[in-house]
Chain A
Amino acid sequence: MTPVSTAESRRPAGKDYGYCNARVRGMKSRLFDAAYLERLMGAADLSGVIHELVQTEYNPDLEQTLIHGRTAAQVDEALKLNLVRTYRKVLRLLNEDAFFLVTTLLGRWDLFNLKSIVRGKHVHLTVGEIHDGLLPVGALNAVELDALAAVEDIRAVADTAATWGLEYAPALRAGYIAFARSGDLPELELELDGHYARWASERLRKRGENAALARRILGMQVDTVNLITVLRLVKADLEGVDPMTFFLEGGWSIHRDLFEQLAKTSDVDELLDRVKGTPYGKTLEDSAIAYLEENSLAVFERSLETLLTRRAVASGIGDPLGVGVVVSYLWAKLNEVTNLRIVVKGKAIGMPESRMRKELILV
């Protein structure tokens, strides 16, 4: 039913990482370096950026979308197509062991897409608008996601997922019941988040270095969600809410006790003080000034995501015949596409180069 199952039937057997890692390293060698991004930012306008990009491996995707107009939206769509195509290609190359670990980590994109659809349905967006926000690189492909986005309402999304026998169907159903009772969409999203964290943790309970690496990446993802949640709770200073209902199991260093302690802090400053001993302490501390300037938790969210990307990309440095090479490439590719989207949008609205440089994630 899904492209993942198609890929599963073609992928190389066993634990031989030689072939897939060599291919992935070859693909990684074609990622853009900082100098190339500088050149793109130095282009006179959007046409200049397009002119540069058509000479790269983004060409087939640009040709496909630019026939509808040479706009930033079409370039954005091409970048998205390229990312999806690249992820699918990598999944086809992987051996059984790597495929199992990587698809578990990529489950975060199914979660992201389902949440986008549910949010879109909640605020009555059109199918096209919901489609623009999706990134079909998980187990659910574009056709399936579009079909889910086209149903009438959130209840129909849950029903369709149950009919298809999707992994997230029970969580969607339970979340929908909670949402229907309270009218709060975050309750549904929390159910989905919790389901993914439990499902992925269970799958990664394997022995070996590769599973340990995947567990670490998943743990950091869960920690990021928990930290953002607790920052929001502390900032909102809600009365009569049990913070532990928002806690996700399966984190790497933000465990239940620490989460409870953090939730009891009086303000963001005190919370930052408490997390100093964790791997996230320095990152959050470095973002504190930007937070004071902008008074937005998005600053912390972004810095934590950057830290996750940095760690995931660095995971390729270790074992050359391990899953780290693949994980590293997938995150690096996502980072490249995100940076290109920033440059394209920046050029389209006439953003100064210095501002664009500041907005880039990891160069």
Chain B
Amino acid sequence: MAIAEEAAAEGAAAGGDVAWQATVGKALAAGLAMGLSAIGAGYAQAKIGSAGAGTLAERPEVSIWIITLQALPEVIVLLGFVSAIMISG
């Protein structure tokens, strides 16, 4: 009887450890999903921004296109955000 109680207590302790590790893992994964997608979008926007500035200097009439292109990488961040929510939820 005493042996069974001891085993159950050990099991409960191990289950607690697993739950704690899962929470930390999820948080890390969500952070990575959000952070890396934000870095990727930032890099893309930097490149588009520099080329866009060059284009606007010579052809201001295409400004709408440049603003649209500049905003496109934001989708990457949104996808990262959704992924992060799904991971942590």
The contact of B51 among A22, A27, A29, A93, by CB within 8 Å, is A22
Structural contact, B50 and A23, CB atoms closer than 8 A = no
- A21 at interface by CB-CB < 8 Å: yes
Complex: A16 Cα to B51 Cα, angstroms: 9
A-B contact count (CB 8 A): 35
Judge if B58 is at the interface, Cβ distance under 8 Å: yes
CB distance from B43 to the nearest CB of A (A): 12
| Residues B40-61 near A (CB distance < 8 A) | 47, 50-55, 57-59
Is the pair A23, B47 in contact by a Cβ cutoff of 8 Å?
no
Question: Interface size class for chain B?
Answer: 10 to 19
Q: Is the beta-carbon distance between B59 and A19 smaller than 8 angstroms?
A: no
Q: How far is the CB of B61 from chain A (nearest CB, A)?
A: 10
Residues of A within 8 A of B51 (CB): 18-19, 21-22
User: When chains A and B are docked, how far (Å) is the Cα of A30 from the Cα of B55?
Assistant: 12
Residue contact B59 to A18, C-beta cutoff 8 Å = no
A26 interface residue per 8 A CB criterion: yes
Task: Tell me, yes or no, whether A11 is within 8 Å of chain B by CB.
Answer: no
Query: Interface residues of B: mostly helix, strand, loop or mixed?
Result: helix
Q: Would B50 and A18 count as touching, CB distance under 8 A?
A: yes
* Inter-chain contact A16/B54, CB cutoff 8 Å: no
Complex alpha-carbon distance, A19 and B58, angstroms: 11
Q: Is the CB of B58 within 8 A of A20?
A: no
Write the chain A residue with the least CB distance to B48: A18
The listed residue (B47, B50, B54) touching A26 by CB distance below 8 A is B54
Assembly CA distance A16 to B47 (angstroms)? 9
Measured between alpha carbons, how far is A30 from B52 in the docked complex, in Å? 17
Q: How far, in Å, is A96 (CB) from chain B's closest CB?
A: 15
Complex Cα gap A27–B50 (Å): 16
A25 at the interface (CB under 8 A from B): yes
Give CA–CA (A196, B59) in the complex, Å: 37
Give the distance in Å from the alpha carbon of A25 to the alpha carbon of B52 in the complex.
12
A257–chain B nearest beta-carbon distance, Å: 46
Give A26's nearest chain B residue, CB to CB. B58
Contact B54 A27 (CB under 8 A): no
- Per-residue 0/1 for A2-24: is the Cβ within 8 Å of any B Cβ (1 yes, 0 no)? 00000000000000101111110
Residues of A contacting B50 in the complex (Cβ-Cβ under 8 angstroms)? 16, 18-19, 22
Residues of A within 8 A of B (CB): 16, 18-23, 25-27, 29-30, 93
Interface residues of chain B, those whose CB is within 8 Å of chain A, are 47, 50-55, 57-59
Nearest 5 interchain pairs by C-beta: A26-B58, A22-B54, A18-B51, A23-B54, A22-B51
